[in-house]
C-alpha cells in the first residue's frame, strides 16, 4: 500500500518561512515605550512599527495560506 502525504516538501518549507516572517514582524513591533508613563516617546509611532512590521505579519499569513492551499505536484 502506497502512503501519500497531504503536503509536499515545498509546502512545509513555505510554512516554516511564513512562521519566520510572522516572528520577525512581531519582533519589529516591540519596543518604543517609555520608562516613565508620563513622558511621551514618539518612537512608538515610527514607520517600522506602524507599516513594516504589520506588513511582514500579513505577508507571513499570506504565505501560510498559499502553503496550505497549494496542490502538491503529482508523484509517479
**Cβ atoms 18, 60 nearer than 8 A:** yes
Q: What is the pLDDT of residue 1?
A: 61
How far apart, in whole angstroms, are the C-alpha atoms of residue 41 and residue 24? 23
**Average pLDDT per 10 consecutive residues for the chain, totaling 76 residues:** 79 96 95 81 87 96 96 70
pTM: 0.83
For 66, the 3-state DSSP assignment is helix
Amino acid at each position: 500500500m502506497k502512503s501519500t502525504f497531504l503536503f509536499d516538501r515545498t509546502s512545509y518549507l513555505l510554512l516554516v518561512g511564513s512562521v519566520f516572517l510572522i516572528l520577525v514582524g512581531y519582533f519589529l513591533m516591540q519596543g518604543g515605550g517609555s520608562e516613565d508613563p508620563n513622558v511621551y516617546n514618539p518612537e512608538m509611532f515610527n514607520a517600522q512599527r506602524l507599516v513594516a512590521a504589520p506588513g511582514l505579519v500579513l505577508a507571513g499569513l499570506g504565505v501560510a495560506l498559499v502553503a496550505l492551499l497549494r496542490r502538491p505536484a503529482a508523484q509517479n
